[in-house]
Structure 1
Amino acid sequence: MIQDTNIVYRDLLDAYNELIENDRSILAVRKNLQNFLTCSFQLTQVMYKEFPRRTSEKWNSSKFSGWDDISKLFKEFRNVVNHEPPLLVKFDAKHFFSANKVYGYSNSSVGSKISSVEATYETDPRSDCIPDVSNFKIITINIDTDEISNEDAELDHIEYKFAFIPTTDKTKELLNKVGNDDLFELAKHYFKTLQDYYGFYEKSAQEHEFALKSTDI
């Protein structure tokens, strides 16, 4: 017999894969994130109903020792989805140029003749695409004369990320505490926690079921 928790866990797995694999649309990321948060909530809710049915005891999620600040962050964003303003994400890009020195950017860094410049793009939360970041231009400095160069820097590569936008004081506090706003990096960490949590639950349920059968003999 397939347990309800197993069905919801597989729904959660699908939601996680949809989130991680579809990163070419602001709207898709927001929708998939909301679905992922909903499935993570449903997992524990089903455990509360299923565990007593299987073991005649109550389920206590706090017995799982793997919860951390990232877990608290996702729980708080789940509350945002249900009760607060819309869940929002931003699109950040880091451009790497073949240039020794960049003009006019305080958020740039230089190493091995590659300069990096970070930029946040204004995006419509309902946009079905991501911003075009390929035309980003910078002014470079001649490293020998320290004067502005007339030559455009050659773009080496671009790295981009989707990041949480805190819309409540609590989410802002937790994001600062975690020290990372990269949505996908945080989701990967949280999903690993949920995998461990589901394994902990199933092991606990099976042990209690075995104990019940033993007393019936």
Structure 2
Amino acid sequence: MSVAPHSDVDLVFLDLQDAVKSLSESRASPKEIRRALSRYIELSQRLTATMRKDYSKRCKGKWEASSFVGWNPRTELLKYLRNQDQHGEQVFITVHDRHFYDVPDDVEIGGIPGRQFVVDGHWQMTDQTLDRQPEGLEVGLGGPGVPYESTEILKPTRTESSYVLFPRKPEDQSRFQAAAVSDVHEFARDTLATLTEYFEFYKAKVGA
């Protein structure tokens, strides 16, 4: 027995890989990040469901996902989020920004070592449909007695953004801590690595 080059199981796994690729390519849009994450979570369930159907036809038996011994706390979190997304509350994300500012050569700012400083921002995104990241804080170069409207606005030289799983209830936070992950891209990358091993394990079982 063998799995055809484009069996249903293969197609779902390829879709799973594409979902993670979309997640990586959508870094500028919180809305698209959340949608790609939700699709990835849903496809992770579809992979096992498709394996069960395929295995039943090919091997006349019942596929047991538990026969794969590579599951870990992060894939357990994936399973939990899948159940929440389907039967409970939708998965939410938020954005963590790090803005890097270079101090102009003609400006002295006390208390800042070197010529660069960083401003961190963690956004509570009540609107999960935002198509772009929230605006960052404005940093103005001024002095005592200088009105804000007269200050020079300093633009960041670069911004690093990460998307973070947002706990909607206390249990979510404890599960994020147990899995030692909250970054969306790290979570998807690591769980996909395990699902890839799971996929290869399945192919070996059916003789592909």
TM-score bracket relative to the smaller structure: 0.7 to 0.9
Structure 1 residues 171 and 101, CA, compared in 2 at 3 Å: closer, same or farther? farther
Where 1:206 maps in the other structure, the secondary structure is coil
- 2:87 alignment partner in structure 1: 83
CA shift, 1:151, in A, is 9.1
For the Cα contact (< 8 Å) 1:76–1:171, is it kept in 2?
no
Matches within 5 A, 1:55-134: 55-98=59-102, 114-123=116-125, 124-133=127-136
1:64 Cα deviation after fit:
1.4
**Match runs of 1:4-23 below 5 Å:** 4-23=8-27
Q: Deviations over 1:191-217 (max 9, x none)?
A: 11111110111011117xxxxxxxxxx
Residue in structure 1 matched with residue 171 of structure 2 by the alignment? 170
2-structure distance, mates of 1:82, 1:119: 31
Q: CA RMSD in A?
A: 2.8
Q: CA 1:159 to 1:59, structure 2 compared with 1: closer, same or farther past 3 Å? A: same
Q: CA deviation at 1:113?
A: 5.5
Distance 2:87 2:171 in 1: 13
Q: Within 2, Cα distance between the matches of 1:102 and 1:118?
A: 19
Q: Secondary structure at the match of 2:24?
A: helix
Specify every segment of 5 or more residues in structure 1 that has no aligned partner in the other structure, as ranges.
Answer: 104-109, 141-149, 208-217
Q: Is the 8 A contact 1:27 1:125 kept in 2?
A: yes
Question: Which residue does the alignment assign to 2:42?
Answer: 38
Q: How many angstroms apart in 2 are the aligned matches of 1:186 and 1:80?
A: 16
Q: Which residue of 2 aligns with 1:200?
A: 201
Residue 213 of structure 1: aligned partner: none
Report whether the alignment pairs 1:188 with 2:189. Answer: yes
Taking structure 2 as the reference length, the TM-score comes to 0.79
* CA distance in 2 between partners of 1:71 and 1:138 (Å): 45
Higher relative contact order, structure no. (Cα contacts within 8 Å, ≥ 6 residues apart): 2
Q: Deviations over 1:103-153 (max 9, x none)?
A: 7xxxxxx886643332112432111221233x542789xxxxxxxxx9987
How many percent identity over aligned positions?
24
Alignment deviations for residues 160-196 of structure 1 (CA, whole Å, 9 cap, x no partner): 1111011233321111123331111111111111111
Moved more, 57-66 or 111-120: 111-120
C-alpha distance in 1, partners of 2:110/2:153? 11
Cα contact 1:102–1:115 (8 A) shared by 2 = no
| Maintained 8 Å contact 1:102/1:139 | no
Contact 1:70 1:178 in 2 (8 A): yes
Q: Distance in 2 between matches of 1:44 and 1:139?
A: 56
1:138–1:160: structure 2 CA closer, same or farther, 3 Å change rule? farther
CA displacement at 1:96 relative to structure 2 = 2.6
CA contact (8 A) 2:26 2:32 kept: yes
Q: 1:116 to 1:179 in 2, by over 3 A?
A: farther
Structure 2's unaligned 5+ residue stretches are 143-150
How many pairs does the alignment contain?
191
Given the superposition, is the C-alpha separation of residues 36 and 111 from structure 1 closer, same or farther in structure 2, using an over 3 Å criterion? farther
Asked if the contact 1:73/1:171 (under 8 Å) is kept, the reply is no
| Letter in structure 2 aligned against 1:34 | S
Asked if structure 1 preserves the Cα contact closer than 8 Å seen for 2:24 and 2:185, the reply is: yes
What's the TM-score once normalised by structure 1's chain length? 0.76
Q: Secondary structure at the match of 2:139?
A: coil
- 3-state SS of 2:206 partner: helix
